[in-house]
């Protein structure tokens, strides 16, 4: 692990990757807090403890939080895979950092746009901008390994 961390690009990737995982935890915490505030629980044992309807799985804001979280899972997990492999292909630090930073900022904007229901197409644009470094990393990885196909 110590040897891996000497790879500056990998360390930079780890920094942004961990921040993004923490961002996902924050969305999970927000979802839980909204459930408590609105007494919109998915499970009867939670209702028994906190009150509310036995099942309330249709609260619009809880569902919004859940969609934001699912979209993070769809996008941040692939980033964690691509970023780790890309870091091993020997990119320059400045260019790699730009990839990670663009993805990070765009995903933060995506979450903010989702949770605050910002005017369209803010969320979609954030999604598209975040895809650009991912596609770039995927292509560079493929170019690095194509001879092994
Ligand atoms: N699973 C996504 C795939 C496409 C996607 O991620 N679109 C972005 C930009 S429109 C999004 O924020 N989708 C909303 C969502 O996944 O809840 C969907 O169903 O929309």
Q: Domain count for the chain, please give it.
A: 1
- 72 pocket-lining for ligand 1 (C-beta < 6 Å): no
Report whether pLDDT(54) > 80. no
In angstroms, the Cα distances linking 96 to 7, 102, 104, 131, 137 are 12, 10, 12, 15, 9
- The pLDDT of residue 14: 98
Of 69 and 49, more confident: 69
As a whole number of angstroms, the distance between CA 94 and CA 133 comes to: 13
Give mean pLDDT, residues 25-44.
95
Question: What spacing in Å lies between the alpha carbon of 129 and ligand 1's midpoint?
Answer: 13
Instruction: Name the one residue in this structure whose structure tokens are 């979280």.
Output: 69
Which CATH number do you get for residue 107? Answer: 1.20.120.550
Instruction: Give the structural domain span for 33.
Output: 2-148
* Residue of the CA atom closest to atom 2 of ligand 1: 71
pTM across the whole model: 0.95
What is the number of the ligand 1 atom nearest to the C-alpha of 68? 17
Question: What percent of the chain stands above pLDDT 70?
Answer: 100
Query: Given this model, what pLDDT does residue 149 score?
Result: 94
- Among 136, 86, 130, which residue's Cα sits nearest to residue 109? 130
Give the span between the Cα atoms of 84 and 51, in whole angstroms: 44
């Amino acid at each position: 692990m110590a040897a891996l961390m000497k790879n500056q690009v990998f360390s930079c990737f780890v920094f942004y990757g961990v921040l993004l995982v923490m961002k996902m935890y924050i969305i999970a915490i927000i979802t839980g807090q909204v459930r408590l505030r609105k007494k919109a629980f998915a499970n009867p044992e939670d209702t028994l403890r906190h009150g509310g309807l036995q099942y309330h799985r249709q609260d619009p804001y809880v569902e919004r939080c859940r969609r934001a979280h699912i979209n993070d899972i769809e996008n941040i997990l692939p980033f964690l895979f691509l970023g780790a492999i890309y870091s091993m292909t020997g990119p320059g630090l400045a260019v790699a950092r730009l990839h990670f930073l663009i993805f990070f900022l765009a995903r933060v904007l995506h979450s903010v746009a989702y949770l605050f229901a910002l005017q369209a197409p803010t969320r979609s644009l954030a999604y598209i901008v975040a895809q650009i470094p991912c596609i770039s990393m995927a292509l560079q990885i493929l170019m690095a390994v194509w001879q092994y196909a």
